[in-house]
């Protein structure tokens, strides 16, 4: 149990375009999902906390107008990178907290590798 | 503020025991997680400590001392497949809960 999927697993896009990444909890409901970014050989940096039915909470330094988060249902959150630029190229990982499961453990999706040309 | 420190890199040999330390300073501390991450993959959950003491799970054990802001992950009977990054993460509760990750420790297991 506690499987989280992400789509797409990788994407290459041109500078200036927008990219949407989906995060789904497959076998549990998640009122809270998290979006992280990881640059090569670095650790995960929390970008924002996504709450079902309400606005996301962004970490300091993360532009909410550039990284749009929508948590439309208890099993789906989306991250849209708007007007992507090469410096946005990174590994984006979502996680979902399975509340009531295993002391609020977060389960991670497989990640999405974004390359902006 | 928050600060979570781990050694950057460690090496060990197959069959040995290795201990990866993590020190943290966070507000609203609500537990300490350890994750394993292979290159290019997402982290996988290893352990969670909220109370002081040792939690054992097969070859992996994790220890927490809340008063010292200190945790360690102990890996026994090392195997080549244990070569990975190990991430220490503190659960913070500042109105809502979130995980803050340390820098990660890259472990290389050699024959």
A104 vs B44: CA distance, rounded Å = 14
- Model pLDDT, residue A27: 86
B62 vs B51: CA distance, rounded Å = 11
Question: How many CB atoms within 10 Å of residue A108?
Answer: 22
* Interface probe with B: pick from A41, A44, A59, most Cβ of B within 10 Å: A44
- Model pLDDT, residue A104: 62
- Model pLDDT, residue B1: 63
Contacts of B99 in chain A (CB under 8 A): 34, 46, 95, 106
Nearest to B82 by CA among B40, B37, B47: B37
Residue in the structure block whose two tokens are 């959950």 = B45
- In chain B, which residues have pLDDT < 70? 1
- Model pLDDT, residue A89: 96
Question: pLDDT tens digit string along A12-47?
Answer: 999 999 999 999 999 888 888 999 999 988 889 999
With an 8 Å Cβ cutoff, the interface of chain A facing chain B consists of: 32, 34, 36, 42-46, 49, 51, 57, 91, 93, 95, 97, 102-111, 113
Contacts of A54 in chain B (CB under 8 A): none
A90 vs B38: CA distance, rounded Å = 16
Q: Of A93, A105, A110, which is closest to B48 when you measure between CB atoms?
A: A105
| Tokens, residue A68 | 């749009």
């Amino acid at each position: 149990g506690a499987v989280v999927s992400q789509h797409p697993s990788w994407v290459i896009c041109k500078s200036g375009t927008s990219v949407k990444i989906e995060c789904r909890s497959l076998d549990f409901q998640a009122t809270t999902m998290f979006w992280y970014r990881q640059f090569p050989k670095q650790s995960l940096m929390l970008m924002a906390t996504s709450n079902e039915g309400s606005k996301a909470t962004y970490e300091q330094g993360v532009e909410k107008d550039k990284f749009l988060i929508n948590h439309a249902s208890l099993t789906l959150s989306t991250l849209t990178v708007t007007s992507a630029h090469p410096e946005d190229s990174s590994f984006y990982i979502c996680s979902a907290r399975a509340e009531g499961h295993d002391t609020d453990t977060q389960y991670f999706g497989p990640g999405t590798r974004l390359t902006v040309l | 503020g928050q600060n979570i420190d781990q050694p950057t890199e460690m090496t060990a040999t197959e069959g040995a025991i290795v201990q990866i330390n993590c020190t943290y300073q966070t507000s609203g501390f609500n537990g300490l997680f350890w994750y394993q991450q292979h290159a290019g993959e997402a982290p996988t959950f290893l352990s969670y400590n909220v109370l002081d003491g040792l939690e054992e799970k097969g070859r992996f054990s994790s220890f927490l001392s809340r008063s010292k802001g200190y945790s360690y992950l102990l890996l026994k009977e090392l195997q080549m497949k244990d070569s990975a990054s190990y991430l220490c993460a503190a659960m913070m509760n500042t109105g809502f809960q979130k995980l803050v990750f340390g820098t990660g420790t890259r472990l290389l297991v050699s024959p």
